[in-house]
Copies of this chain bind each other. A is one copy, B any other.
């Protein structure tokens, strides 16, 4: 018998790799935070002596979900302003409250609320773009979650930085000071072409090469942001990334709602990763990206919720479902974006997009034990004919029963192990009271 830390035995294991398989009555062996084996439970019980053994008879084990595009702290602004045109929403509601309220403390409070929501719903990694990343990293490491450290750059002044030069300075300082933890994956984040100069984009490219960092940005989210670049630079945003030599497999672009045929091939030919944010794109009225087409071309499509101020949740189960349904609706083809396909988008494709393909995204030997258990015994997912279909089309994120990152439990039997949710809510509401007083909340009619 081999001594190991943990043996998880479940009714089903959906490892993602090998592709489109569901193993029945299988076990995952974990030692030192690493998956060391995946084998039938009968064999596992003979082979391994585990310090902790869990029998998950109602559960399916799968890799933790990867939220490949979000702004976690914006949970502070959830449902502050909805059903509004994008510019009205940004200029009259979001930017004013961000300007007044975003600082190291509110970022920490917002990230913690977002992490509670994400852990509860089976997300183990979030690709976060926001400000005060060292402060965010502090609470992320403390919670034991895995996330992007946001090396953000834009021309919009915030309390974090006042201009592009200042943002670049901050990027370099932050990267120098970054804590020694593999939970934080530092990514260069030029906010969007229309908020970054050509010089900044070139400097991002230089830093990406020098520090070997991946790059993440918004692109072609709205017709308006494309028009802004066309007006100012006489070309479309992707062309500006191309000129800055940023189009390669280290780049991931969120949204890409509006693309020409040529641009689709530009993404494909340069192995650029794209992040589908179907709910945010719809809710803000930006449109519906034809992601089934991009996926069919062989482009790596990952999935993100965007921030809670626009979505208004960080529910990757909901996002998988939306991605699958919308693709079928738009193409009038029910076979596109099958259950297994969107499960891959929410796991291994996300891992690829953030440069962690060898670390997370599947239950494979040698990968980190970033794993979730989903309880299918709830009547929402009964009867059970097809676990993969139930996960995508019927499961409620509250059916996530356990969450591990690096083999450490973050959620057990629906309870947080590393977050004090009462404290998190108290912190958030202390700021929310002030935000509510300051902001004009639209269309709430009181008597």
A137 to chain B, nearest CB (A): 22
Answer whether residue A271 sits at the interface, using C-beta atoms and an 8 A cutoff: no
Do A335 and B279 touch (CB < 8 A)?
no
Chain B residues contacting A117 (CB-CB under 8 Å) are: 379-380
Contact with B along A225-239 (1 / 0, CB 8 A): 000000000000000
Answer whether residue A397 sits at the interface, using C-beta atoms and an 8 A cutoff: yes
Do B285 and A425 touch (CB < 8 A)?
no
Q: Considering residues A84, A117, A329, A421, which has the most beta carbons from chain B within 10 angstroms of its beta carbon?
A: A329
Given A313-B380, A322-B322, A396-B396, A80 and B386 contact (CB-CB distance below 8 Å): yes
A297 to chain B, nearest CB (A): 20
Given A83-B334, A285-B334, A330-B288, A312 and B393 contact (CB-CB distance below 8 Å): yes
A416 to chain B, nearest CB (A): 10
Q: Looking at the complex, which one of B21, B78, B89, B331 makes contact with A445 (CB distance below 8 Å)?
A: B21
Q: Looking at the complex, which one of B22, B311, B389 makes contact with A393 (CB distance below 8 Å)?
A: B311
Contact with B along A431-447 (1 / 0, CB 8 A): 01001100101111111
A300 to chain B, nearest CB (A): 21
Chain B residues contacting A329 (CB-CB under 8 Å) are: 278, 281-283, 285-288, 326
Do A445 and B334 touch (CB < 8 A)?
no
| Chain B residue, CB-CB nearest to A389 | B79
Instruction: Give chain A interface residues in 82-123, CB to chain B under 8 Å.
Output: 82-86, 89, 113, 116-117, 120
A76 to chain B, nearest CB (A): 7
Q: Within the oligomer, what is the number of copies of this chain? A: 2
Q: Looking at the complex, which one of B282, B383, B398, B441 makes contact with A78 (CB distance below 8 Å)?
A: B383
- The answer for the CA separation of A394 and B397 in the assembled complex, in Å, is 12
Interface size on A, residues (CB 8 A): 83
| Chain B residue, CB-CB nearest to A439 | B385
Instruction: Give chain A interface residues in 275-331, CB to chain B under 8 Å.
Output: 278-279, 281-288, 308, 311-313, 318, 321-322, 324-326, 328-331
Chain B residues contacting A325 (CB-CB under 8 Å) are: 279, 282-283, 322
Instruction: Give chain A interface residues in 405-445, CB to chain B under 8 Å.
Output: 421, 424-425, 428-429, 432, 435-436, 439, 441-445
- The answer for the CA separation of A161 and B120 in the assembled complex, in Å, is 48
Chain B residues contacting A175 (CB-CB under 8 Å) are: none
Chain B residues contacting A270 (CB-CB under 8 Å) are: none
Answer whether residue A206 sits at the interface, using C-beta atoms and an 8 A cutoff: no
- The answer for the CA separation of A331 and B396 in the assembled complex, in Å, is 28
- The answer for the CA separation of A78 and B328 in the assembled complex, in Å, is 18
- The answer for the CA separation of A393 and B308 in the assembled complex, in Å, is 10
Given A325-B283, A329-B287, A398-B398, A383 and B428 contact (CB-CB distance below 8 Å): yes
Answer whether residue A333 sits at the interface, using C-beta atoms and an 8 A cutoff: yes
Chain B residues contacting A358 (CB-CB under 8 Å) are: none
Q: Looking at the complex, which one of B20, B308, B330, B444 makes contact with A22 (CB distance below 8 Å)?
A: B444
A414 to chain B, nearest CB (A): 11
Given A22-B446, A385-B436, A78 and B332 contact (CB-CB distance below 8 Å): no
Chain B residues contacting A364 (CB-CB under 8 Å) are: none
Answer whether residue A128 sits at the interface, using C-beta atoms and an 8 A cutoff: no
Do B425 and A382 touch (CB < 8 A)?
yes
Answer whether residue A53 sits at the interface, using C-beta atoms and an 8 A cutoff: no
- 8 pairs of A and B residues whose beta carbons are closest in the complex: A282-B329, A383-B432, A285-B334, A312-B393, A79-B389, A282-B325, A83-B338, A312-B394
**Sample (18) of A-B pairs whose CB atoms are under 8 Å apart:** A21-B445, A23-B446, A79-B381, A79-B386, A79-B390, A79-B393, A83-B335, A83-B389, A85-B334, A85-B335, A86-B334, A113-B379, A279-B325, A282-B329, A283-B334, A284-B328, A312-B394, A385-B432
